[in-house]
Chain A
């Protein structure tokens, strides 16, 4: 099993440019998460999908961030325009989960974004 696959692994862009990240979750996992991890800190949730529905996007800065999970499988996270403070590692995770339990929660390798 390939695990959670993310691309690209690294991205360097100039501020005000757009950027997109892609995530392919583990096959059969209904829940998909996008996290942002700043240097020296724990992951912070940006958005959570149950199948194709975004059920928790309260932490997503909606003025510049957007996400989609068409067909309830792959997902993309976009930033437009990027700001210097967006430099971080963006982690995707997936699991087979219900309201009260969680199985197989796995992180992808992440995309390290540097905005210059």
Chain B
């Protein structure tokens, strides 16, 4: 089956700096890659996603890049704000299954 690895497990940045979280996957059949933000005690919320026929997608301060050859995808947050502090999960979708990374705890220091 698919194996999704996520790094780093924790990330601390200064407000206004950029944050990058990286994930790798193992199965080339995976074709959809969402990113979720989960605040303490709340449900995971989809923040951005990318499909395998696209290399990059941007939504305001958030962007995701996908390298199908290398089987990795990354989340980029620019101009970070304290409200960006949360746990972020990547996932790979493969034949009706989602495989989640282990999460990155992002702390944005004011």
Contact = CB atoms under 8 A, between A and B. Distances in A.
A40 B96 contact: no
Interface stretch (A18-26, A43-51, A66-74): A43-51
A9 to B, nearest CB: 10
Q: Give the interface size bracket for B toward A.
A: 20 to 34
Q: Is the interface of B mostly helix, strand, loop or mixed?
A: strand
B97 A42 contact: no
A31 interface: yes
A107 B96 contact: no
A43 B42 CA distance: 13
Contacts of B31: 100-101
User: What 10 A-B pairs come out closest when comparing CB atoms?
Assistant: A42-B100, A107-B43, A109-B43, A42-B89, A107-B44, A42-B103, A43-B100, A42-B102, A102-B93, A42-B101
Interface of B: 6, 31-32, 34, 36, 41-46, 89, 91, 93, 95-98, 100-103
Interface of A: 31, 33, 40-45, 48, 50, 55-56, 91, 97-102, 105-110, 112
